Each structure stands twice: as structure tokens, then as C-alpha cells.
Amino acid sequence: MKTLDLSYVSDNWSDIVHRAWQHAVLAGLPLLIGLAIALPLGWWARRSTRLRPFLIGGAGLLYTIPSLALLIVMPVILGTKILSPWNVIVAMTLYTLALLVRTVADGLSAVPGDVEQAATAMGYTPVKRFFGVDLPLAIPVIAGGLRVAAVSNVSIVSVASLLGVSQLGYYITNGYQRSYSIEVWVGIIGCLVLALLFDLIIQLVSRALTPWLRVRGAS
């Protein structure tokens, strides 16, 4: 076994940072888009008992599609170039949705019934109530779902290197082909650090948005 030669890391530092940034965008942007789409779908699933199984079941089904297959059919469906990052972004958005529609519906269900009733009785319109009362109270549950989706996205995105879309997965496939273990480690550790960073950011934002959960005497 070769001695670990850390000079690979310092020699390629700017390239690593660049790919890490691309990886972050490919995993992070779908998280935001997915959340934006999951909010109305989750709201809808919560409101309509008839549609609920279809919305949640359908979304969950997306997650069972193998990532490689989904990435390969994306250009066909979207009409994009095979190397376009949009293939990855749309595919990752679908995976995010698969996890978040249910999470959003669960989060909204966790809002206490008497609080919802009170809001309606105060004269909130449904839309105002959603943004003013239901959504803020669902933040902790939604943040939990986002953390799972973030980690899952970071790991699935690395598969996209097989299609030649630039991100940290490149080091894993390339290092594997060259039997150059330090390069594989760069890919693995890079993904790990990225996932931890996402997790940390989501936790911090969620905490900042929910000051009432940390007051003295709160249960």
C-alpha cells in the first residue's frame, strides 16, 4: 500500500473546492426547489383525505427509482444535453419531493387542533393561516425531513459522475479506476464534510426560526 501522500490534496486544492461547490449546488438547489413544491403538495395532502394516499404514496414511489436509471432518462424526458447539470438538479428535486411531501403533511398534522381552530376563528384566510400559523409550527418536523433529504442528496449526487457531471463523486470513480486510494478518500471525506455542513446549516436556520421552543418553561 502506498503511503498516504497528502500533497495530492494541496496540489489539487482549488479543483477540490470547485467540485465541492458544484456538488453543493447540485445537492442543495434541489433541496430548496423540492421544499417549495412539497409545501403546497403537503398542504393539499393534509387537507384532502381522498388525495392524501395518492400524493404521499406517489411521492414515496419516486424514491424507489434507482438513481442511475433516473439520471439516464432525464435528458430524454427533459430534452436537455446529457452533460447538463439540470438533469441532476431535476432528478434530485424528485428525490427531495419523495421525502418532503410526507414530512410537510406530517408537520402540518402536528399543529395542535385548538390552535388551528383559534386561527380560523380569528378570521385568518386559509393562505394567511398556512404562512402565519401552520407553517411556522411545522418548522421542526420539516427541518427534520430536510436533514434526511440533504444527506441523501449529497450521497446520490456523487453517482452523477458516471454521467460526467462535475462534482465530488468524480474523485471516487476516477480514483477507483486509477487504484489511487487517496483520491477516493478525497471524494468520500468531501461528501461527508458537505453532508455535515448541510445538516449544520439546516439545524441553525431551524433554531433561528423557532425561538419559542427554547424559552424557559417550554415543553
d(CA 154, CA 151): 5
User: Is 123 a residue that touches other proteins (CB under 8 A)?
Assistant: yes
The backbone region for 65, taken as left when phi is positive above 0, alpha when psi lies in -120 to 50, beta otherwise, is: beta
Q: Which of residues 182-211 bind other proteins (CB under 8 A)?
A: 210
Q: Which of 118, 193, 200, 204 binds other proteins (CB under 8 A)?
A: 118
Selected from 117, 176, 181, 204, the binder of other proteins by CB under 8 A is 117
Residue 174's nearest CA partner among 162, 156, 189, 165 is 162
CB nearer to other proteins: pick between 174 and 203: 203
Least separation in angstroms between residue 104's CB and other proteins is: 17
d(CA 44, CA 104): 10
Least separation in angstroms between CB 161 and other proteins: 43
CB atoms within 10 A of CB 74: 21
| Cβ closest to other proteins, residue 10 vs residue 49 | 49
Which of 88, 119, 142, 154 binds other proteins (CB under 8 A)? It is 119
Q: Minimum distance between the CB of residue 211 and other proteins, rounded to whole angstroms?
A: 8
Stretch that binds other proteins, among 14-22, 31-39, 111-119, 152-160 (CB under 8 A): 111-119
Are 97 and 70 contacting, i.e. CB atoms less than 8 angstroms apart? no
Span interacting with other proteins, options 13-21, 66-74, 110-118, 189-197, rule CB under 8 A: 110-118
Distant-in-sequence, close-in-space partners of 107: CB < 8 Å, separation ≥ 6: 42, 137, 138, 139, 140, 141, 142, 145
Q: Exposed, middle or buried: residue 76 (CB in 10 Å: 0-12, 13-18, 19+)? A: exposed
The reply on whether position 49 binds other proteins by CB under 8 A is no
The answer to whether 66 touches 94, Cβ cutoff 8 Å, is no
Tell me which residues touch other proteins (CB under 8 A): 112, 114-115, 117-125, 128, 133, 136-137, 210, 212, 215-219
